[in-house]
Chains A and B, each alone.
Chain A
Amino acid sequence: MYKYDNYDQAIVDARVAEFRDQVNRRMAGEITEDQFKPLRLMNGLYLQLHAYMLRVAIPYGTLDSRQMRMLAHIARKYDRDYGHFTTRQNIQYNWIKLEECADLLEELASVEMHAIQTSGNCIRNISSDQYAGAAADEVADPRPWAELLRQWSTFHPEFSYLPRKFKIAVIASPEDRAAMRLHDIGLELVRKDGELGARVFVGGGMGRTPMIAPEINPFVKADDLLSYIEACLRVYNRYGRRDNIYKARIKILVHEIGADEYRRQVTEEFAHVKTLGIDPPLAELERISAFFAPPAFDAADVEPDRSDPDFAVWLDQNVKPHKQSGYAIVNISLKPIGGIPGDASSAQIDVMADLAEKYGFDELRVTHAQNIVLPHVAKRDLFAVWQALREAELANANLDLISDIIACPGLDYCSLANARSIPIAQKIATRFADAERQRDVGELKLKISGCINACGHHHAGHIGILGVDKKGVENYQLTLGGSGAEDVSIGKITGPGFDEDGIVDAVEKAVEKYRELREGEERFVDTYRRVGMDPFKEAIYG
């Protein structure tokens, strides 16, 4: 794990002092809410329906037990005893008081955490693969690159007032667990003649106009990376649309001028930027990489005893192979049937921290699917981990099944939402509560957004649900066939929308149609791709 040096700490500490000053000026009436808004937003503080919401950055979703315990402490002291893990691998707190915010940030800074650039029209928290450092299929650990980008993007003086927010993801495996091509910039680390570099994709995104990012450069060398990304951003900052908030993301620019023209402009800008000496020496990437050296793996390769049937089910569903023999990757689902996707209580957060410390080389990850990962658990400890999780109601064996739902906070919290998301997630999970039926249905990624901004990633759901406002009544549209993985695709809308109960029925009909039509090992999305929309449409509306 990356550890701050004095420079990193000084910058985060200065940020706390600056924000304290900004809050004080706002409370004294020296600045208006309109002037305060972009300042608080650049620090992750939103004014929501009922209270301030604070989003805390978890860079590339990686944290240690000390940081995890701090998140529990903050939930206890400043919020209502729970936190909400987000699709950006962050955590947000829903009931924050403005006057306590600076104290909260000071506590975070004491464990090398912050809320810098978790909102606002700037470069947001860099996201990555939750299995980084543990996945057998990675060419390298992507996190050193993400940390390099985190530092470069922090308080970037030129790119803090972009046309719109800007999200970057870094992966290093052919299997995409981070929805990389649905980001403003997606980087996939690859090797060419033994040298590590990045494939660069630009202009993906969800929201009102979902786009899959085209490849802009097949290989950018490590010591050119920051210059190249700076060139990508400068072209966007200068030419991205600012006349219409809905057309301001980089995907619209890339789409309107075309990938070839965008690539040409970036290449030209890069030729200039490269002369400015903004790239750190490779020694800096090496310095950062040293923090991500593999832990001291030494466990013998023992297969766990599967005699407890519930444990066996959890093993099969939530535990994934590790690149090191004797170890496994444990996924902790934050999706209990009927619960709020991504929420965890302070006590549960503490339990996960304890398990990481005791069994997991002190590491935790947050996933974009709003779950938690213990990336390095010895197989001999899996049963003990499972027992502790079960005790804390965290042993839900539903990873990637239909009840492992991504949902945005929706109208229960969010001032932008048109409809509630959480109750829909709860009803669908409850409808499919029968664990055997869920497992029979298999991998099915269901994602719910409460408005067109698509925070719940509905476009990328095998089944997606979008809440809209239809003449003052909540209405839910259904999409099929999306994916945020390496088989990335945008879901297609089935037809007219449904009311709250209607959408649950429609989902069930689509699932049953799949069970009827599937061949061999096909997942829901495979069957959909093979047979097309019509049979599903007929089942849903017929």
Chain B
Amino acid sequence: MVEFRYRDDEVTEQPSVTLDAFLDQSNATAVRLEPDDDARKLIPFLDRLTLIEIAFPKFRDGRGYSSARILREAGYTGELRAQGDVLVDQIAFMRRCGFDSFAPEGSLNPEAVERALSTYDQFYQKAADAAVPVWKLRHG
């Protein structure tokens, strides 16, 4: 269940299909990536997708962070959802990698999530979010 969503458009009602199913049956608009799926396979189809769900079966498995950035770097603007073992302390990193909705398996305290997202005002590196990196602030 989507607990946190940081976008204003309508939630996609269509259930997401696996990457293999999507590549076979290209009329779906929602797809789900497992950690070992190659996100780049979706690049030709990004304009027809409204939801890409990236699975985190274990929070320690960080492949989904790269998948998310690859999709955003390729210009995907639809919903990018982190689903599974998503914890409070991962959400800020996930936001920076381009995730804009979260469906954690365990329920998260909204206050703690808010706190985690507002802890840092400055970031050293450019990522998939709008944050301006510190080096750019230093040099304009």
Contacts and interface: CB of A to CB of B under 8 A. Distances in A.
Interface in B63-111: 63, 65-67, 69, 73, 87, 89-90, 92-94, 96-97, 109
Contacts of A10: 121-122
Contact of B134 (A7, A237, A238): A7
Nearest to B90: A161
A63 B67 CA distance: 38
Interface string A148-184: 0001101111111111000000000000000000000
Contacts of A151: 124-125, 134-135
B120 interface: yes
A242 interface: yes
B4 to A, nearest CB: 17
Nearest to A242: B61
A158 B60 contact: no
Interface string A1-34: 0000101101100100110011001000010000
Contacts of B65: 157-161, 237
Residue from B60, B62, B127, B134 whose CB has the most chain A CB atoms within 10 Å: B62
A22 B87 CA distance: 12
B59 A38 contact: yes
A234 interface: yes
A22 B65 CA distance: 22
B138 interface: yes
A278 B125 contact: yes
A277 B139 contact: no
Given A38-B59, A281-B135, A158 B126 contact: no
B124 A152 contact: yes
B96 A157 contact: yes
Chain B, interface size category, equals 35 or more
A511 to B, nearest CB: 45
Contacts of A5: 138
Given A151-B134, A284-B139, A272 B73 contact: yes
B60 A38 contact: yes
A489 B109 CA distance: 52
Contacts of A155: 93, 120, 123-124
B119 interface: yes
Contacts of A208: none
A244 interface: no
B135 A276 contact: no
Contacts of A17: 119
A237 B121 contact: no
Interface string A223-242: 00010000000100110001
Nearest to B62: A161
Interface in B47-61: 59-61
A217 B105 CA distance: 43
B97 A21 contact: no
Nearest to B136: A280
Contacts of A283: 139
The 4 closest A-B pairs by CB, nearest first: A161-B62, A157-B96, A280-B135, A157-B93
Given A7-B137, A38-B60, 20 more contacts: A7-B138, A8-B134, A10-B121, A10-B122, A11-B134, A18-B116, A38-B59, A152-B124, A157-B65, A157-B96, A157-B97, A158-B69, A158-B127, A160-B93, A226-B125, A234-B66, A237-B66, A278-B126, A280-B135, A284-B135
9 contacts: A7-B122, A7-B134, A30-B112, A157-B96, A158-B93, A158-B127, A159-B65, A276-B73, A278-B133
Interface of B: 35, 59-63, 65-67, 69, 73, 87, 89-90, 92-94, 96-97, 109, 112, 115-116, 119-127, 133-139
Interface of A: 5, 7-8, 10-11, 14, 17-18, 21-22, 25, 30, 35, 38-39, 121, 151-152, 154-163, 226, 234, 237-238, 242, 272, 276-278, 280-281, 283-284, 287
